[in-house]
Amino acid sequence: MKISRRNILKAGLGLSVALLDSTQLLNVLAKPQANKTKNVLLVIQLLGGNDGLNTIIPYGDGKYYDLRPRIGIRQNEVIQINNQIGFHPSLEKFAKLYQDKQLAIIQGVGYPNPNLSHFRSLEIWQTAYPNSIASTGWLGRYIDETASDDNLFPGINLDLALPKSLSANKIIVPSIANFPDFKFNVDSHFQNDEQSQIQAFKSIYKNFRTKNSDLNLIKHTGIGALESTFKIPDMVANYKILTTYPNNEFANKLKYIACLIANNCESSIYNLSLSGFDTHANQAYQQANLLKNLSDSLYAFHQDLEAHKVSDNVMTLIFSEFGRRPSQNDGQGTDHGTSQPVLIIGSKIKGNLYGQYPSLSSLDSGNLKHDLDFRSIYATILDKWLNADSQAVLGRNYEILPFV
C-alpha cells in the first residue's frame, strides 16, 4: 500500500491512523517534518546587465586599467580576494561572507553565441534554452515536476510581474509584491455581507468556463489569489525581525521572505529583482549604490535567517542577464556585454572561487569570452540542493560544480 501525504490529508488523519500499522504511521508522520526542513532557493535578478568587471575586479591585470581609464576601480579601493582579483568596495559584506566560506564566486559565466538584448538574454537565463523560445522557465519546470497541485505556494514571486523563470505548465506561481495590501477587501460598511461575497466570488470563478487558455489563467490565478489571502496574514504576523535591514524596498521584500521561510511556508523558490544596472552612462555612482544595497540587504537577510536558525536551508543565487563591455564608452559608462560572475550565498554551501576569470587580452568583438555555462550552475542547484532531476528540467546533463 503506497501512502502519500496528500491522500492522508484528504482522508483525515483520524481515519488514516486506524488503517495504518505503526511503521507506516511513523513514515506518514515523518513526512511533514521532512517537508519542514526542505531546502529553499532565493533567486536575485540584477536587471539591466550588471558590470561584472567592476563587481569582481581584476585589479592585478594592467589591461583592466587600459580599458577603463575613467571608471576602473583603483587598486587601493578594491577589497582583495587574492593578488589578482577583489570585490568592489561596496561589497564589504559580501567579502565578509566570502571569508566565512558562505559565498561562492563563479567566474566567467555565460552561454554560447551571447545575445546582447536585455530581454532575449534575460529570457535565455530564465528559460535555460538559448537556442529556442521556450514557454516555461527552468524553475517553472522544476515546480511542475515536484509540486502537488494543492500547494498554494509552490514558489513565490516578489516582483510585480511573474518572471519567465517561474512560468510553468501545470502550476501557477503566485506573485506578492506588496504584502500589507495582499488581501481581498469587501465594503467596510457591510461586514456581515463579507462571507456571502467571498462565497459568491468563488462560485462565479468555479463556474467560469472558457476554451481560451489565456482567459483561463484569470480563473485560476484569481481563485488562487483569494485563497492565498487567507494564509499570508498568518504567516507574516508576529514575526520578529532579529537584525537591522537597510531601509528600502528591496530589503523590505527580503524581510518578508525571511519571515515566510522562518514560518515554514511551503514555498521552495523565491524570486526577487533589483533594477537599475543598465549603466550606459555615469556608471560609477549608480553601480556603487546598487551593489551596496545588494550586499548590505542580503547580509542582513542572511543574519536574520541565522538568528531564526533556518539559514542552513537557504541558498541565494545572484545573476544578471549579461555583464558589460570591458572597454568604457564616452559617457563614463559601459555598453552591453557578455560573461559575468555569478554569486551564491548560503550557510551550507562551499564558499570559494570557481571557474576562470575571463581573459582581458583575448576578447571576442570587444567582449569577454565565457568559461562556464550557466546551466551547470542550475544543474548543480537542481541535483544537489533541490534534490530534483536536472536532466528532466534542463533537457540534458551538465557538469556538476562542487559549490554545494
Partner 1 sequence: MKTTNHNEYLIQHLLRRAGFGYNQMDLDFFQNLGYGPSVDYLLYPDPHNDNDLNDILSKENFDFTNIENVKRWWLMKMAFTKNPLQEKITLFWHGHFATSNAKVNQTPLMYFQNQTFRNKGLSHFKDLLQAMLYDPAMIRWLDNQENNVGKPNENFSREVMELFTLGIGHYTEEDVKQGARAFTGYHSRGFNFYFDKNQHDYGEKIYLEQTGKFNGNDIVKILANQPQCANFIAYKLCKFFASDKPSNSLVNDLALTYKKNNGNITTMLYTLFNHDEFKSPVCYRNKIKSPVEYAIGTIKTLEKKKITSDLPKYLASMGQDLFYPPSVKGWDGGTAWIASDTLLARYNFANQIIQNKMDNLENDYILPTILIKKYNLNTSNDLISYFSELFIDNDMNPDIHQSFCNYLNDNDNNNDIINFTSWDDLKLDAKLRGIIHLFLTSPMYNIA
Given 3, 17, 186, 307, the residue binding partner 1 (CB under 8 A): 186
Q: Does 110 bind partner 1 (CB under 8 A)?
A: no
Name the segment binding partner 1 (CB under 8 A); options: 3-11, 95-103, 116-124, 377-385: 116-124
| Closest alpha carbon to 155 in 279, 13, 283, 265 | 265
Shortest separation between residue 114's beta carbon and partner 1, angstroms: 10
| Closest alpha carbon to 140 in 167, 122, 158, 116 | 167
Q: Does 189 bind partner 1 (CB under 8 A)?
A: yes
Given 34, 160, 240, 361, the residue binding partner 1 (CB under 8 A): 160
Contacts of 178 (CB under 8 A, 6+ apart): none
Given 50, 127, 157, 271, the residue binding partner 1 (CB under 8 A): 157
Residue 26, exposed/middle/buried by CB under 10 A (0-12, 13-18, 19+)? exposed
Q: Which of residues 371-400 bind partner 1 (CB under 8 A)?
A: none
Measured distance CA(209)–CA(227) in Å, rounded: 19
Measured distance CA(130)–CA(336) in Å, rounded: 17
Shortest separation between residue 218's beta carbon and partner 1, angstroms: 5
Q: Which of residues 291-350 bind partner 1 (CB under 8 A)?
A: 328-333, 335-336
Shortest separation between residue 72's beta carbon and partner 1, angstroms: 15
Measured distance CA(346)–CA(94) in Å, rounded: 11
Residue 391 grid coordinates: 536532466
Tell me the per-residue interface mask from 207 to 246 with partner 1, x by CB under 8 A, - otherwise: xxxx-x-xx-xxx-xx-xx--xx-----------------
Name the segment binding partner 1 (CB under 8 A); options: 184-192, 303-311, 387-395, 396-404: 184-192
CA distances from 209 to 163, 205, 218 (A): 27, 9, 11
Measured distance CA(84)–CA(360) in Å, rounded: 13
Given 79, 162, 258, 315, the residue binding partner 1 (CB under 8 A): 162
Q: Does 205 bind partner 1 (CB under 8 A)?
A: yes
Q: Does 369 bind partner 1 (CB under 8 A)?
A: no
Which residue has 492522508 as its cell numbers?
8
Q: Does 185 bind partner 1 (CB under 8 A)?
A: yes
Given 37, 74, 75, 119, the residue binding partner 1 (CB under 8 A): 119
Instruction: Kindly state the number of chain residues that form the binding site for partner 1, as judged by CB under 8 A.
Output: 65
Tell me the per-residue interface mask from 267 to 296 with partner 1, x by CB under 8 A, - otherwise: -----------x-xxx--------------
Between 80 and 229, CB nearer to partner 1:
229
Between 25 and 225, CB nearer to partner 1:
225
Given 18, 34, 161, 237, the residue binding partner 1 (CB under 8 A): 161
Shortest separation between residue 235's beta carbon and partner 1, angstroms: 15
Residue 227 amino acid letter: E
The contact set with partner 1 (CB under 8 A) reads: 47, 115-120, 157, 160-162, 172, 174-178, 181-190, 193, 196-197, 199-201, 203-205, 207-210, 212, 214-215, 217-219, 221-222, 224-225, 228-229, 278, 280-282, 328-333, 335-336, 365
